[in-house]
Structure 1
């Protein structure tokens, strides 16, 4: 799920377009991926950039197959749908595979780089993580970088003449089904996290008979207006943090408000990746952008009380910006920002004016305004009206939410579970892990719970699953900085 200006995302373009043509079976080649010791299979499939023009420009959709360990494998493979929007599924395969290891015994695990990500016609912007903090956080400079990125992407073979309009979720899910057909997989077991949950829901809507089971973790529904929900859900997570640590840090909320009131101010902070000290003007918006990312992971959020207090009392902000940098996750977690905006600008930005989300008292409308500015000039794909609707689930769906998630909290999972279970409530279960952040797949026993759900022989046996082993996990206690013992003076040696 990623900096505040990134985040999760949405779905999109054309149920009205012609159905995809049958694809030839792609050859699979032996390959290796960093972080996975055994040999894997890699392949690619050509797909039309514009589904309405099957003989027009083509893009290569790359995918990775982790072959089942057992010889008598099950035919229904597991498809992992990555987050973002903009995350490469293949790049995060080594991180995700341990959570699916039991399933990998008798089922192939498939990772497809969604169009616009990884090796599939990537829409990447230059990495700005090593730029001086002043450049990273300067709003005008950020807009200029995004404008330059868009202009560069529009010169690519698949970006020319409005090509960026065809990187929406609806079109991308047609690619996913073409890969399924080419691999000879009768049905997918879908596993989606963050934006991948929206992708899964859109695939389920377009191809209901091609899905056996679905797991969606950290749900971003199609009716969720991403930039507007940023403020609402981020504020709720921050307020929850203050309440959770009220006993150990009773003055934390007041110190936070005093810190906000002291802005703008000049601060000196070491650039988290280079260590070079930099002096810049810290504004309210920049502080909120620094605080939000650690909220995604309770282990990082546990250090926020100390970092906020040190900033408020001593004027030192290295801790806050260090936590923000720690959330980044490395090169393999980077988003293809061109794909990110192609999705969000098509599927969310047009709905901003009608969004019902109430802005957070602290976070306000900064995220909305940033996306609105970018999307004014970003090529915008068409989104079918049906995209925003959730038909009743045709097969079992396990919905999972973290109660402390600042991006896709419980309220979104509840709404999706209710809609999916409207006709057959027994087909849907919503598992809430109260003290988990963005994504619960890695929490406690959830890996085994996911295995039992997908491996169950019948739909009746798949649900409900007992998640008590995860729901009882407490929130991490607040981090307490180690205080150096005072030095003693004297003649004794």
Structure 2
């Protein structure tokens, strides 16, 4: 999922249409389109450097709509190798599988560390990573670059971003009908994944989905139930579950409010955070919440200009930190409790007018928003396809119920691009009819543990494990669970008891 107030945040759920990431035009020459046909998987030479001892298959899945989706299969060389692979479904929507040299090295380390004894299958879904054609827009990229250096009120930024992005979708579809927004949806990606597995040499397979990847997994499970195929989906692990009926603009007031409240409460109980609080000017007289809200007011009156180093070696970025951009960066850091002390430092930096002390919070925020591993237009197209626009009356009621930051969520309904990209067939809620392990972090601000608890009660084939001191993406932090994933995949019908002392339901 991707979350945004004004400027973009990587690895989170968008609150606006503006600057959720940069678009990188393809440098490859245009290729002749394939004739309209069924799905085909074609093996290719690998395009990255990797460990020469690893056994890797690379290829592309060609879809009936003439998309070409990059596929990488990391083969497990364990002596007791299992025959049923794991298909990893990443977050987003719009996030790539990182099928480049650095990404593949990380995946090989992940596979060896998790020791599942299974092949790992990775896919760049439509509009992500190396998939072709690419959903790109130079005008939107230029708008983003200009915006960085300007102090613009949130409402104006939303309005301008809406107009630019809407025009991008229109011009992209006009130039290439394949890039019509209706070709990007969770339903279509689910069909793509199922078609891939039907093309490969496996009899059974498993899914490991994280964040948005859990939503894609659930749609795959629904399609499997409606139209079973020879290759059987055996089991699923859903980490930080984001099912149909949750998310979308209608939940943003609640998610932002509750996520920040969780930070205010949790930071006051975390050792490293307490140490920072004691070293700062935040005391018992002024609560952390009040101190944070004061920082927003200060930045609204007096924004701070900073220069941010680019991680990709490009020229440094001149960036204006105002209130809503500071809120966006803070919410990105709320995902990981280990980053909470950095937020305290940044609050004090605003109070002291110290631009240098803002950089530890803002540098990862800016760099993650510029990564080529995320495509913002794809995010928007898929999110709108999955979540129909609800009434403004319902949204207003949510603002009243969650008032803490309504100044920053008030205009989100009006400027959501889904008004211009109406959904033809929103996702259905589904209770998967196969063994499913749900993992949730009690501190997760973006896919709250209440979502996981709610769906677990409705799914007779599911088990729920809640990690008390973890936020988003449990397997990214929980070493014990990662090491014992094979126990679930080996016997998914059995009660999963690994790491019971470290996890509480």
With structure 1 as the length reference, what TM-score do the two structures score? 0.78
- Distance in 1, matches of 2:429 and 2:267, equals 39
**CA-CA distance at 1:167 after TM superposition:** 0.9
What corresponds to 1:416 in structure 2? 455
Question: CA contact under 8 A between 2:262 and 2:445: conserved in structure 1?
Answer: no
- Distance in 2, matches of 1:439 and 1:173, equals 21
Between 1:77-86 and 1:96-105, the stretch displaced more is 96-105
**CA-CA distance at 1:407 after TM superposition:** 0.8
**CA-CA distance at 1:110 after TM superposition:** 0.6
- Distance in 2, matches of 1:320 and 1:228, equals 31
What corresponds to 1:123 in structure 2? 135
Q: How many residues are aligned here? A: 438
Which of 276, 289, 305 pairs up with 2:344? 305
- Distance in 2, matches of 1:124 and 1:468, equals 48
- Distance in 2, matches of 1:467 and 1:278, equals 46
What corresponds to 1:479 in structure 2? none
- Distance in 2, matches of 1:81 and 1:65, equals 13
SS of equivalent to 2:92: coil
**CA-CA distance at 1:81 after TM superposition:** 0.6
What corresponds to 1:200 in structure 2? 217
- Cα deviation 1:42-75 (Å, max 9, x = unaligned): 11222123xxxxxxxx222221111121476433
- Distance in 1, matches of 2:402 and 2:297, equals 16
SS of equivalent to 2:246: coil
What corresponds to 1:33 in structure 2? 48
2:131 aligned with 1:98: no
What corresponds to 1:286 in structure 2? 325
What corresponds to 2:429 in structure 1? 389
2:4 aligned with 1:4: yes
> Residues 434 and 459 from structure 1, CA distance in 2 versus in 1: closer, same or farther, beyond 3 angstroms?
closer
- Distance in 2, matches of 1:83 and 1:242, equals 26
- Distance in 2, matches of 1:414 and 1:420, equals 10
2:260 aligned with 1:235: no
Counterparts of 1:469-484 in structure 2 under 5 Å? 469=502
- Distance in 1, matches of 2:158 and 2:423, equals 26
How big is the alpha-carbon RMSD for the aligned residues of Structure 1 and Structure 2? 3.3
SS of equivalent to 1:351: coil
What corresponds to 1:167 in structure 2? 184
**CA-CA distance at 1:93 after TM superposition:** 5.0
- Distance in 1, matches of 2:372 and 2:496, equals 32
- Cα deviation 1:267-322 (Å, max 9, x = unaligned): 23213235566567x34x3332232111112222231122113313x133554464
Question: CA contact under 8 A between 2:239 and 2:439: conserved in structure 1?
Answer: yes
What corresponds to 2:166 in structure 1? 147
> Residues 349 and 401 from structure 1, CA distance in 2 versus in 1: closer, same or farther, beyond 3 angstroms?
same
2:279 aligned with 1:271: no
SS of equivalent to 2:476: coil
**CA-CA distance at 1:83 after TM superposition:** 0.9
SS of equivalent to 1:28: strand
**CA-CA distance at 1:439 after TM superposition:** 0.6
**Structure 1 residues not aligned, in runs of 5+:** 10-19, 50-57, 422-426, 473-493
What corresponds to 1:258 in structure 2? 294
> Residues 416 and 310 from structure 1, CA distance in 2 versus in 1: closer, same or farther, beyond 3 angstroms?
same
Question: CA contact under 8 A between 1:69 and 1:104: conserved in structure 2?
Answer: no
2:450 aligned with 1:450: no
What corresponds to 1:486 in structure 2? none
What corresponds to 1:79 in structure 2? 87
- Distance in 1, matches of 2:150 and 2:182, equals 29
What corresponds to 1:47 in structure 2? 63
Question: CA contact under 8 A between 1:396 and 1:462: conserved in structure 2?
Answer: no
Which of 196, 201, 206 pairs up with 1:184? 201
Question: CA contact under 8 A between 1:198 and 1:220: conserved in structure 2?
Answer: yes
2:439 aligned with 1:400: yes
- Distance in 2, matches of 1:323 and 1:360, equals 26
> Residues 30 and 171 from structure 1, CA distance in 2 versus in 1: closer, same or farther, beyond 3 angstroms?
same
**CA-CA distance at 1:173 after TM superposition:** 0.4
